[in-house]
Amino acid sequence: MFSTLFSINSRRNLKAFIRKSVNLLENYTKQKLINHGNALHCHLIKMGLSSQKYVAVKLLIMYLDSRKSFEIDQMLKEFNGFNLVVQNCLINANLERGNVTDACQLFDEMPERNEVSWTALISGLLKQGNVDKAMFYFERNPFSNVFSWTAAISGLVQNKLSFQAMRLYKDMLRSRVLPNDITFTSVVRACVDLGDLGLGRSVLGLVVKFGFEDNLCVSNSMVTFFLRLGEYDSAKKIFDRMEEKDVVSWTTILDMYFEMGDLREARRIFDEMPERNEVTWSAIISRFSQSGDAEEAVILFRQMIQHQFKPNVSCYSSVISALANLEALEAGKNIHAHALKIGMEMNVFIGSSLVDLYCKCGNTKDGRLVFDSLPEKNVVCWNSMVSGYSLNGQLAEAIELFNQIPQKNNVSWNSLIAGHLGNKNFAEAFEVFNEMILSGEQPNKSTFSSVLSASANLASLEKGKYVHAKVFKFRFHHDIFMGTALVDMYAKSGSIESSRKIFNRMPTKNEVVWTAMIQGLAENGFAEESLRLFEQMELTSSIPPNELILLSVLFACSHCGLVDKGLHYFNSMEKVYGIKPNERHYTTVVDMLARSGRLSEAEKFIESLPNEPEANTWAALLSGCKIYGEERLAERAAEKLSVAAEKKPGGYVLLSNIYASGGRWIDVMNTRNLMNQKGVKKSGGCSWIEMRNQVHMFYSQVEIHTFSKDMYWVLQLLNGEIQSYFT
């Protein structure tokens, strides 16, 4: 099997043979093909090459890795000529397997040590995350060369100790050791992690001074530096000036356009770049998945496979995440099977996205199965499972799991808050938010958008104001999303002046803010102002009106009796704005006509509709008939309403309310009975007040409040007093 290697007839061929053997041994070690390795070993012995230094070291590593103690002993006996190298090699092998104590003991017992021994030990310890021991040896290292300094600096950066890394870098310069290209790439990465623009610029100065500006790796890391600090122009400048560009440079610049939100330019670069590798594919797939285009991410994944690239861990996790967002369970299971096949299902990244996949598809049981099978869970795994339970309404499970998270982060809290929000437990969402603040966790924009939505739903001005103060305190008040959430919250809590103030102060306004403000005004009875704002939006911005804005406009017209104006807007919806009206628009138009007494017009309008209208539409007509005493039309509308009611559970409620307002109590009872028979659940009426920072809830028909008995007793007392006052 090594026949191609046997034509050794010159010194040059011998060297090539040794190199090839070393490569083969490395591969056999990696793939655990010990039999192949053994065979090669035999051949090497026959050729008298088994004690050649490089070959012997690789053989030793292979036997160490497969724990063949007999062979190890045999080899160690042979190694008298280069003991030091073997010792270094043993130390390395121990460190790679995490045997820190053995490695250190071996090192301490060595009769002599060279530069490599020290550097190997220090960098190995840092790779194992044992910073203290590494620094202990670093301080005692008698050799002061670039390698050990660089090993220490890059090791610290890998352990996220960038500040210490920079301190070491300064010490290095002070002790007059010249940094090399690898030193600079590590140092630049430290600057990225520290987010210090000035520091990075000063490093760049030295890069130029020492003549490394044309080095590929150093330039690539500088591009990354400027990109991560948001200095896109500088990043682009360095990239454009680079004479030599490789896949890494192109992938970095590709990522920059995604970061800037310029998807088209990113796509153009991807299509036109001279070379791609699996990282490039991985980057574009994840970016498309993150920016909400899951379909494109999946298509790209398929293309990647077609181009014969082997997907790596990142790719798998990105594509699973994309499939989770598409709720594509079958395709996801397929990928799960692939991951199992190549033994990657235990990876935290893949595992987390698998948990997410099963939960997003409504299968929390399988999600939990994957979760439980993960041997090393990080906070993301926990968060995925918590939000998975939240998503499926299993809040008890979500809370229980949340409490078990060993090290929570703000996403953990956000997941639970969002869980309460999604299940309409607005007060609980608030409580969790308070706990979060008390625990010292930093809330972010997601936290606030959830909590502001919770206070909008509670319509609690007090709570809303409290959150607003926190938004201010954590300096998010200039953010457009926060502004929008605040405008909406104040509008829903009835403080339209505050909405107006925030809206007016926003320097840039997007579609959502305009929608929130126009809607807020319309729903709070400021119909004219709402219409004025709509007209202002049309004049001063390039934002096209959307469904919701037009609904608000119709609503406003209806409430200030501007029927013809409303009809005008309704008729322009499809023609001018290209928006197809939906059921709610129809209902608002009927409501508008009915309120102003144009009842026959309303009936004709309903007849002209493409589909049978929703129950609400008939209810709007019916209430108009009541105001204007149109008995016969009312009868027809009521009949239609009761037909429509059968289709939708909400219809019965509407019907019973209409009967109730007309005093037709027998019909009310009949409707209620019908609802019970059909098992229609009516969400109970609920009301609440806030007292001393506590919300007290009251439900119709059920006495849930702890003190309801006492309260009814007091009410009775008061009633008695009032009556005695009048008699």
Q: Report in angstroms the alpha-carbon separations of 717 from 663, 688, 699, 724.
A: 29, 22, 22, 11
Tell whether residue 282 is a contact of DNA (CB under 7 A): yes
Residue 291 binds DNA, judged by CB under 7 A:
no
Other CB atoms within a 10 A radius of the CB of residue 116 amount to 17
Among 44, 72, 75, 192, binds DNA (CB under 7 A): 192
Give whichever of 485 and 567 is closer to DNA, judged by the CB atom: 485
Exactly one of 88, 141, 289, 394 binds DNA (CB under 7 A); that residue is: 289
Report residue 128 as tokens.
Answer: 């194992």
C-beta of 398: minimal distance to DNA in Å? 11
Write down the least CB distance from residue 397 to DNA, Å.
15
**Which of 8, 49, 197, 216 is the binder for DNA (CB under 7 A)?**
216
Q: Is 387 an interacting residue with respect to DNA (CB under 7 A)?
A: yes
Q: Does 98 bind DNA (CB under 7 A)?
A: no
Asked if 194 touches DNA (CB under 7 A), the answer is no
Q: What is the DSSP string of 474-534?
A: TT-TT-HHHHHHHHHHHHHTT-HHHHHHHHHH-SS--HHHHHHHHHHHHHTT-HHHHHHHH
At residue 441, the 3 state secondary structure works out as: coil
> Do 633 and 623 contact (CB within 8 A), yes or no?
no
By the rule CB under 7 A, 146 interacts with DNA? yes
Q: How far is the CB of 124 from DNA (least distance, A)?
A: 8
Q: Does 71 bind DNA (CB under 7 A)?
A: no
Give the interface segment with DNA, choosing from 128-136, 415-423, 580-588, 616-624 (CB under 7 A): 415-423
CB of 697 to DNA, least distance (A): 24
**Counting contacts by CB under 7 A, is residue 457 touching DNA?**
no
Rule CB under 7 A: which of 521-560 touch DNA?
none
Under the binding rule (CB under 7 A), the answer on residue 280 touching DNA is yes
- Work out whether 181 is an interface residue with DNA (CB under 7 A): yes
What residues contact 18, with CB distance under 8 A and at least 6 apart? 49, 52, 54, 55
Of the residues 194, 263, 379, 695, which one makes contact with DNA according to CB under 7 A: 379
Q: Is 411 in the site for DNA (CB under 7 A)?
A: yes
DSSP 552-570: HHHHHHHHTT-HHHHHHHH
Binding of DNA by 185 (CB under 7 A): yes
34 makes contact with DNA (CB under 7 A): no
Q: What is the size of the binding site for DNA (CB under 7 A)?
A: 73
Regarding 260 and contact with DNA (CB under 7 A), the answer is no
Non-local (6+) Cβ contacts of 612 within 8 A are 644
3-state helix/strand/coil string of 666-683 = HHHHHHHHHHHHHCCCCC
For the stretch 272-308, what's the b/e string if a residue is b when 16 or more beta carbons lie within 10 angstroms of its beta carbon? ebeebebebbbbbbbbbbeeebbebbbebbeebeeee
For residues 276 and 509, which CB has a smaller minimum distance to DNA in the complex?
276
Which residue in the set 107, 137, 138, 147 belongs to the binding site for DNA (CB under 7 A)?
Answer: 147
Distances (CA, A) of 542 to 479, 514, 536, 537, 640: 21, 12, 11, 8, 42
Compute the least distance from the CB of residue 222 to DNA, in Å: 10
Q: How many helices (H) and strands (E) does the chain have?
A: 41, 2
The one among 138, 349, 514, 555 contacting DNA by CB under 7 A: 349
245 interacts with DNA by CB under 7 A:
no
Q: Which listed residue (47, 173, 206, 279) binds DNA by CB under 7 A?
A: 279
Query: Residue 94 half-sphere exposure, CB side, CA atoms within 13 Å?
Result: 18
Interface of this chain with DNA, residues 304 to 343, rule: CB under 7 A: 312-315, 317-318, 321, 324
Told to check if 182 binds DNA by CB under 7 A, we report yes
Is residue 87 at the binding interface for DNA, with CB under 7 A as the rule?
Answer: no
User: Quick one: which segment of 410-418, 508-516, 558-566, 624-632 binds DNA (CB under 7 A)?
Assistant: 410-418
Least distance (Å) between residue 662 CB and DNA: 42
Cβ atoms of residues 118 and 151 within 8 Å: no
C-alpha 689/C-alpha 710 separation (Å) is 17
What does residue 236 show for φ and ψ, rounded to 5 degrees?
A: -65, -40
3-state SS class at 684: coil
Residue number, 14 or 116, with CB nearest to DNA:
116
CB neighbour list of residue 173: distance below 8 Å, 6 or more residues apart: 179
Cα 199 to Cα 159, 160, 170, 204, distances in angstroms? 20, 17, 12, 9
Q: Which is nearer to DNA, 114 or 446 (CB)?
A: 446
Sign of CA dihedral 119, 121, 127, 131: negative
The answer to the question of residue 29 lying near DNA (CB under 7 A) is: no
Is 128 near DNA (CB under 7 A)? no
> CB-wise, 137 or 605, nearer to DNA?
137
Name the minimum Å distance from CB 227 to DNA: 8
Q: How large is the angle between the packed helices 563-575 and 583-595, nearest 10 degrees?
A: 160
DSSP state of 582: -
Minimum CB–partner distance for residue 348 and DNA (Å): 5
283 contacts DNA (rule: CB under 7 A): yes
Which segment (162-170, 204-212, 280-288, 365-373) binds DNA by CB under 7 A? Answer: 280-288
673 binds DNA (CB under 7 A): no
Give how far the C-alpha of residue 288 lies from the chain's centroid of Cα atoms, to the nearest Å. 13
Among 29, 88, 130, 414, binds DNA (CB under 7 A): 414
Beta carbon of residue 445, minimum distance to DNA (angstroms, whole number)? 5
- 115 is a site residue for DNA (CB under 7 A): no
Backbone phi, psi, residue 41, to 5°: -55, -45
Among 128, 364, 384, 392, binds DNA (CB under 7 A): 384
- Could you write out the DSSP letters of every residue in 267-278? HHHHHH-S---H
